Amino acid sequence: MELLTKRLTIRSPVIEDAEELRGKINDFSIVQWLSNTPYPYDLGDAIGFINRSNQAIKDSAAYNLVIEIEGEIAGGVGLFDVNEVGGELGFWIASKFWKRGIATEASKTMLYFGFKQLELKTIKASFKEGNEASNKVLKKLGFISIDQKLEDDEIFKQRVMMHFLEIKSSDYLFNN
């Protein structure tokens, strides 16, 4: 699977990406904001992610893709927990690529894919308290806050305040 923008290639991960993915994700400044991503992140974690992601795409259950810019992996973006009504958007950007609009561009492309190709009605997203970068991206895309609650972070063994947002296809398609 591949989606293209003016500067990004958003594609299915391949096994050859494993070492580069491991290197990019094995960064506490990234992992601290992700859910269910181990730290340290080793090669086996990357290979498992690639295999699970490709199976989920075949099953139409999730679309977890890598973001590539000029031949280098810049991050990941995906729709997961996809069903006949909706799904959830998630993304991460390697620290080298922060503050370049990549998360917004890639996420906008995934929203378009979800609403136009998959015909989803609602896409949800969430972020941990303190992750202002993700909050800004989601607000810029038109997500609205729907809830917040304390949840257990199984990786870091702590309670975190999670913020939950959503966007409806009618709102997104009308404004884009």
**For the chain, domain boundaries:** 2-175
Which CATH number is associated with domain 2-175?
3.40.630.30
* The pLDDT value given to residue 16: 98
CB proximity list for 128: less than 8 A, separation 6 or greater:
32, 33, 35, 153, 160, 161, 162, 163
For β-strands 144-153 and 122-128, DSSP reports them as unpaired
What is the mean predicted confidence (pLDDT) over 62-68? 98
Is the pLDDT confidence value at 173 over 90? no
Give the ranges where the chain is alpha helix by DSSP (H): 18-25, 28-31, 43-58, 102-112, 132-141, 169-175
Pick the range with the lowest mean pLDDT from 8-17, 29-38, 114-123, 128-137: 29-38
- Average pLDDT across the chain, whole number: 94
pLDDT classification of 152: cutoffs 50, 70, 90:
confident
Euclidean distance between the first and final Cα of the chain, in Å? 23
Is the pLDDT confidence value at 39 over 80? yes
